[in-house]
Amino acid sequence: MTAPADAHLRETGLGGQTLLSGGFLEVRRDIVRLPDGATASREYIRHPGAVAVIPILDLAADPTLVLVRQHRYPIDRVLLEWPAGKRDAGEPTIACAQRELLEETGYTATEWAWAGWIHNAAAYSSEGIALWFARGLLPGPARPDAGEFVEAVTLPLSALAALDARGELTDVKTLIGLHWLQAALSGHRSWSWTSAGNARDVA
């Protein structure tokens, strides 16, 4: 993504320190050399990355989707979101996707299709979120983490699109997953389905 031609934009890390660590968030402050040779400091969250799953319950004309409702304390709102979660260190995104879908909704999926990477807070977090489509869903009991209160809900694509049109869907991974799903269903975005055992991370 950063070609040699981008030397006029590029910031080069010169080392730094960990400002906060040990709890949930790891915060770094690095010194960077700016394109004009001056230096500046950059504070950011070191994040292991996350995964979100777009679970398609049926492939009717108006497919039924599985989402979760979760209170997000930093914004004090209940958000409607795709099942999602943070990656364990070194965990492939497909393994994280299968784990989070099971934990939060109880479903396992027989087929998976890669959707894409998104960067949600690149100004101050290294987080990237990998999005996967899932279908061929088999129900089972959810297995929430201790202290995690998540409610699985099903709703038709048309209802989710109506929430988006009214400005009531605000979670970024959920908006982008919805738009990519609409594009794939209308033939404007390609997707390639693989059996659960053969699904692999995109390099």
Task: Give the other-Cβ count within 10 Å of 17's Cβ.
Answer: 9
The pair phi, psi for residue 186, each rounded to 5°, is -95, 5
Q: Which of residues 142-181 bind a second copy (CB under 8 A)?
A: 147, 149-151, 165, 167, 170-173, 175-176, 179
Task: Give the other-Cβ count within 10 Å of 5's Cβ.
Answer: 8
For a second copy, the closer CB: 59 or 183: 183
Q: For the chain, how far is it from start to end, CA to CA, in angstroms?
A: 14
For a second copy, the closer CB: 116 or 139: 116
Binding of residue 62 to a second copy (CB under 8 A) = no
At residue 56, the 3 state secondary structure works out as strand
Given a contact cutoff of 8 angstroms between Cβ atoms, the answer to whether 84 and 173 are in contact is yes
Binding of residue 120 to a second copy (CB under 8 A) = yes
Binding of residue 200 to a second copy (CB under 8 A) = no
| CA–CA distance, 27 with 152 (Å, rounded to integer) | 32
Binding of residue 123 to a second copy (CB under 8 A) = yes
Residues that bind a second copy (CB under 8 A): 1-3, 6, 8-11, 13, 19-20, 23-25, 27, 29-30, 32, 34-36, 38, 40-45, 69-79, 86, 116-128, 147, 149-151, 165, 167, 170-173, 175-176, 179, 183, 188-190
